Amino acid sequence: MNLSVIRWLLASSLFVLSLGISQFSLAAELSLQAYTRAATSLNGEWKIIVDPYENGYYNYRYEPFDQQQNPSVNAFFTDSKQKTPSDLIEYDFDKADTLQVPGDWNTQKEKLYYYEGSVWYRKKFDAPAAKKSDRQLIYFGAVNYRADVYLNGKKLGVHVGGFTPFHCEVTGKLKPKDNSLIIKVDNKRHADAVPTLNTDWWNYGGITREVKLFNVPRTFIRDYTIALTSLTQKSVAGSVLLDGAKGGEKVQLRLPELNIKQTVTVDKNGSANFSFAVPDAQLWSPESPKLYSVQISSGSDKLTDNIGLRTITTSGKQLLLNGKPIFLRGISVHEEYSADGGGRVSNAKQAKILLGWAKELNANFVRLAHYPHNEDMVRLADQMGLLVWSEIPVYWTINWKNEATYQNVEAQLAAMIERDKNRAAVII
């Protein structure tokens, strides 16, 4: 699937719920290569309020506060404070309990172990130093399952799907000091959701993956794709996407170890293609998981990454890696850490231990069941030489008669492919 098809899928998918309010722009749902970018971490301690009746979201007539022109101070996202003892404000984030992000609430708080419902998270932070021309983006690795996102009392949007990343642009919306980022996290299961009501894994709730704040130039490198396209000719092709481009901007691509240096010009959509031969390249395989540094620069922006070069094809019933038959010796892995209290994998160290156990079993292949795992997993698989089967939570009784459910599925698939399309380890 090429980049343009993936972006069409995203553009045509009901990935953001329309609530008649300000919501994420379409661009916010397109891919963002965020893993290797310098960022301000918003991880760590967040204040939380458990809200099973959703009193912080609905008024007494069950009308959402965030669809009202002048929301009540009782709307939790306003982060209001009593000015006098008689003010009828019955919540206070400053005096509230805390949870660690990334992490699930089930294993952090015993009283929340079986909880399914809404929990409000709040993080206070100061805006990092930035140039006047810079843009700011807040990136979420994953929130399970629905996230309503607010900044300084204003709604930024909604994301649905517990295992795929999303981001929103907050340029011009940050204060120098004391910004209030509030997320209403809801992990309730629904018959029309993906996954649906019944699964065979635990329904962890929370901001389960990292949260980052990026400063980027006005025109920045949003995404790229690169792959070995011909085994016999050792040819490589790919594309790059600039956000904010007007057309005519130059992009330089370098793979220093292979002596590749190429400059391309983007079109009015900010896109450009490139191709070159790498006759001396060492191909990626489980026995020799060779990775090459790739450097992409344009204007004042630079993106670096590590990629492997390989082909995956079939011949009859045989699976061919780099043109040679390969026998898969694998095991299924859930994104759960079974030590230290259990719960969702929350860091690269835990992910590496899980994949290390697979290697100890002499596996060359892992199925990351039954949903997109954190990005650490697929990148570590690249480094450790483990082939990967990655999937979305289309499991058992998905309601295919509901068009919105189908579009949700389509969007999650596209988002997974977008995030991991440059990982040599991912073959299925």
List, for residues 137-181, the tens digit of each pLDDT value.
999 999 999 999 999 999 999 999 999 999 999 999 999 999 999
pLDDT(23) > 80: no
CATH architecture group of domain 313-420: Alpha-Beta Barrel (3.20)
pLDDT(216) > 90: yes
pLDDT in tens, 267-284: 999 999 999 999 999 999
Higher pLDDT, 366 or 1: 366
> Using CA of residue 338, residue 342, residue 345, residue 351, what is the dihedral sign?
negative
pLDDT(32) > 60: yes
pLDDT score for 30: 65
pLDDT in tens, 241-264: 999 999 999 999 999 999 999 999
- C-alpha 292/C-alpha 306 separation (Å) is 5
Q: Where residue 11 falls among pLDDT bands split at 50, 70, 90? A: very low
Structure tokens at 108: 């952090």
pLDDT score for 342: 87
pLDDT(310) > 90: yes
pLDDT(6) > 60: no
pLDDT(377) > 60: yes
CATH architecture group of domain 220-310: Sandwich (2.60)
Percent of the chain scoring above 90 in pLDDT: 90
pLDDT(51) > 60: yes
Q: Where residue 85 falls among pLDDT bands split at 50, 70, 90? A: confident
pLDDT score for 26: 31
Q: Which amino acid is at 56?
A: G
Percent of the chain scoring above 70 in pLDDT: 93
pLDDT score for 29: 53
pLDDT(8) > 70: no
pLDDT in tens, 316-341: 999 999 999 999 999 999 999 988 88
Q: Where are the domains of the chain?
A: 15-216, 220-310, 313-420
Which residues fall within 8 angstroms of residue 259, CB to CB, at 6 or more apart?
Answer: none
* Average confidence (pLDDT) over 281-297: 98
HEC secondary structure over the chain: CCHHHHHHHHHCCCCCCCCCCCCCCHHHHCCCCCCCCCCEECCEEEEEEECCCCCCCECCCCCEHHHCCCCCCCCHHHCCCCCCCCCCCCCCHHHCEEEEECCCCCCCCHHHCCCCCEEEEEEEECCCCCCCCCEEEEEECCCECEEEEEECCEEEEEEECCCCCEEEECCCCCCCCCEEEEEEEECCCCCCCCCCCCCCCCCCCECCCCEEEEEECCCEEEEEEEEEEECCCCEEEEEEEEECCCCCCEEEEEEHHHCEEEEEECCCCCEEEEEEECCCCCCCCCCCCCCEEEEEEECCEEEEEEECCCCEEEECCEEEECCEECCCCEEEECCECCCCCCCECCCHHHHHHHHHHHHHCCCCEEEECCCCCCHHHHHHHHHHCCEEEECCCCCCCCCCCCHHHHHHHHHHHHHHHHHHCCCCCECC
Residue tagged 């191709």 (tokens): 275
Mean pLDDT, the chain, as a whole number? 92
* Average confidence (pLDDT) over 287-300: 98
pLDDT score for 31: 82
* Average confidence (pLDDT) over 107-115: 97
pLDDT in tens, 98-107: 999 999 999 9
pLDDT score for 338: 84
pLDDT score for 22: 33
pLDDT(386) > 50: yes
| CATH class of domain segment(s) 15-216 | mainly beta
| Short-list 79, 100, 83, 209, CA closest to 151 | 79
